[in-house]
Amino acid sequence: MFSLLTRGRARLLCALPLVVGLVAVQTGCGAGARPPVAQSSAAYAPSVPQAELAGMAPSAATAMGRDAAASQAPGPPAPTPATKAVMGMPAPADARPAKNAGPATRAPVIIYQGDLRMMADEDAIPKTIDKVIDVAESLGGHLAGRKDQSVSVKVPSAGFREAMTKIEALGGVIGRSVTADDVSEEFHDLEVQLGNLRATRTRLQEFLGKATGIADMLTVEHELERVGKEIDRIEGRLEFLRTRATMSLISVAMSPKPKVAAPIVAVAAPAAPPPPPPRRASVDLPIPWVSELGIDPLMSLRK
Amino acid sequence: MNTHIAKVALALALVIGGAACTHGARLSTPSGFATLEEGGKYSYRATSAKGVVLATRTEPNDIKGNTEFWAETLDAKLRDKGYVADGTRDVKTSRGLKGTQLRYTTTKGGREHRYWITVFATASKVFVVEAAGDKEPFDKSSGTVEGAIATLDASE
C-alpha cells in the first residue's frame, strides 16, 4: 500500500494516529497531578508501539521522536517560561525548559491569609476600620469588604507582614491567626501541563495543515478543540492562584468593649435640699377667699 | 301721691340694689377672649383660646384694710405657696381707681406660668383681678391683659 502513496502522504497517515494517541496519554483522564515530563517514553508503549514508529519512514520517525523529546523531556521541575510569565518574572528567550534546573529554583507560591479580632470602644469602631483601610491602601492594597463591625482588605503579599504589624499596632487585638497555603506543587504541575498542552496544540495544528482527508481533519480538529478547552481551564486556575498569591487577604473583626460599670463608691447621703425661704411674717386672717387665690382655681374652667 | 312716689322709689332701690349684688367688678372683655358665665367666687371670668385667663373677685372689706395692706397680705400668701415674685407695680383704672399689681411666675403641669394679681381696696370692697396663663402665650398677651385690667368697673 505504501508503494501507492506519495512519500508525504505516507508520513501523514502514519503519524496522525501516533499524535492522537500521544495527546490522549498526555492530557487525558486527569493526569494533571503528575507532570507528564516525569514519565519515560516507554510509558507510551501501549498506545504507540515502538514497532509502529519503526515502520515509519526514517524522517517521520525522527521528527516525531524529536517532538516528543522536546515536550516530554524527563523532569525539569524548574519554572518554565510559562511559569515565570505567570509569576510575573521575565521569560527567557529560549522557551524550552532547562534540563538541569532543580527543584531549588522553583519559586514558592504561597497564599497568605490573616485574621485579626480586635476590641474597641463602640464609638471608635468605625474610625478603627477606617485606619485598617488606610494601612492597606498605604501598602498598595485595597478594601475587599466592609460591614458595621468588620473589614477585609487585600494587600500585596510582599507587604503582608508589615500590614499585619501596622494593623495590630492600632491596638485592642484579642486574637490573631495567619494561614499560609502553599500551592506551589499544584501551581507548577498546572504550569507543566499547560506547557505540554501548548506544545501538543502546536503539533496538532501542524498536522492539521498537512491533513488531506476529511476524516483526518475532523479527528485532528476534535483533538484541537479538546486541548484548547483544557488549556483554558488550566490558565484560569493558574490565574486564580496567581491572584490569590499576589494579594493577601486580611480580615479584621471588631467587637465593642464591654461597658465598665461605674465603681460602687460609698456616697454620702444626698445633700439635703436647701431649706425653704423663711416664711414671711403674715397674719392668719380669718378670710377664706385669701387662701383660695392662685393659679389652679383660676385656670380651672370647669364649674 | 306721696304713697305713689314712695312705691316708685322703693322699686328703683330694689332694682338698683339687686343689680349691685349680682354685678360685682367686671372687665371689658378684650379682643380674642371669651367671657365665661360665672355664679361662684368670680364675678367675672374670660379666657383666650390659648388659655390666658382673666377673672375678678369682689370681696367685702370687713377689716377695712387699704390697698397696701391687702397687697402685702396676698403677697405673703402667694410666696408661701411657692410663687416667685417678678415685681410689683402701681396701676390705675380708667375710672381713676388706684391699685397694686403683683406679678409672679409659678410652675403648673411642668410648665412655667405667669400669674398676676391686682388688688383695689375701697372702704367697703376689695376688688381683685387675677390673670394667668402659660408663660409664652401670656407674655404675648401681656399688653392686652394690662389694658383689660385698666377697664375694671368697680361700681359698688
A-side interface with B, Cβ within 8 Å? 277, 279-283, 285, 287, 289-299, 301, 303
DSSP string, A226-250: HHHHHHHHHHHHHHHHHHHHHEEEE
Residue in A282, A299, A303 nearest the CB of B53: A299
Which residue has better confidence, A173 or A281?
A173
Q: Pick from B36, B62, B113: which is nearest to A301 by CB?
A: B36
Residue identified by cell 494561614 is A179
Predicted model pTM: 0.39
Distance separating alpha carbons of residues A100 and A89, to the nearest angstrom: 19
**Residue B112 distance to chain A (closest CA, Å):** 11
Residues B80, A280: C-beta atoms closer than 8 Å: yes
Q: Do A296 and B57 touch (CB under 8 A)?
A: no
Q: SS3 sequence, A127-174?
A: HHHHHHHHHHHHCCCEEEEEECCEEEEEEEHHHHHHHHHHHHCCCCEE
Q: Name the band, by pLDDT with cuts 50, 70 and 90, for residue B39.
A: low
Question: A67-76, B28-37, B147-156 — which is least confidently predicted?
Answer: A67-76
A47 SS3 class: coil
Give dist(CA A282, CA A29) in Å, integer: 114
- Picking from A277, A293, A299, the nearest residue to B74 by CB comes out as A293
Q: Residue B17: pLDDT above 50?
A: no
Q: How many CB pairs (< 8 A) connect A and B?
A: 59
Averaging pLDDT over each range in A79-93, A180-194, B17-31, which range is the top one? Answer: A180-194
What is each CA distance from B10 to A116, B14, B20, in whole angstroms? Answer: 107, 6, 15
Handedness of CA A213, A214, A215, A217 (dihedral sign): positive
Question: Region A145-172: what's the mean pLDDT?
Answer: 90
Of the listed ranges A253-257, A273-277, B6-10, B96-100, the least confidently predicted one is B6-10
What is the number of other CB atoms lying within 10 angstroms of the CB of residue A50? Answer: 12
With CB atoms and an 8 Å threshold, state whether B41 touches A297.
yes
- Cα distance from A267 to chain B (closest Cα, Å)? 30
Name the residue among B60, B53, B66 with its Cα closest to residue B117: B53
- pLDDT of B121 above 90: yes
- Cβ within 8 Å, pair A291-B40: no
Inter-chain CB proximity A285 and B73 less than 8 Å: yes
At A138, which amino acid appears?
S
Q: Residue A233: what residue type?
A: R
Pick the residue from chain B with its C-alpha nearest to A283: B73
Alpha-carbon span A166 to B123, nearest angstrom: 93
Going by C-alpha positions, the residue among A107, A114, A46 that lies closest to residue A79 is: A107
pLDDT digits (tens, 9 = 90+) for A254-297: 888 877 666 665 555 666 666 655 555 556 677 888 888 888 88
Q: Which amino acid is at A85?
A: A
Asked if A97 and A82 touch (Cβ cutoff 8 Å), the reply is no
The answer to whether residue A136 scores a pLDDT higher than 90 is: yes
C-alpha distances out from residue B96 to A200, B4, B57, B67, B93, Å: 125, 38, 19, 14, 5
> Which range has highest mean pLDDT (A54-58, A250-254, B5-9)?
A250-254
pLDDT in tens, A203-237: 999 988 888 888 888 999 999 999 999 999 999 99
Minimum distance, in Å, between the CA of residue B18 and any CA atom of chain A: 23
Residues of A in contact with B51 (CB under 8 A): 299
Q: What would the mean pLDDT of B73-97 be, rounded to a whole number?
A: 91
Name the average pLDDT for chain B. Answer: 84
Instruction: Please answer yes or no on whether B73 and A292 come within 8 Å at the CB atom.
Output: no
Contact residues, chain B, for A295 at CB < 8 Å: 106, 108, 113, 115, 132
Look up the ipTM and state it.
0.80
| Angle of the A160-168 helix axis to the A125-138 helix axis, nearest 10 | 150
A293, A295, A301: residue with CB nearest B106: A295
Mean pLDDT of chain A: 70
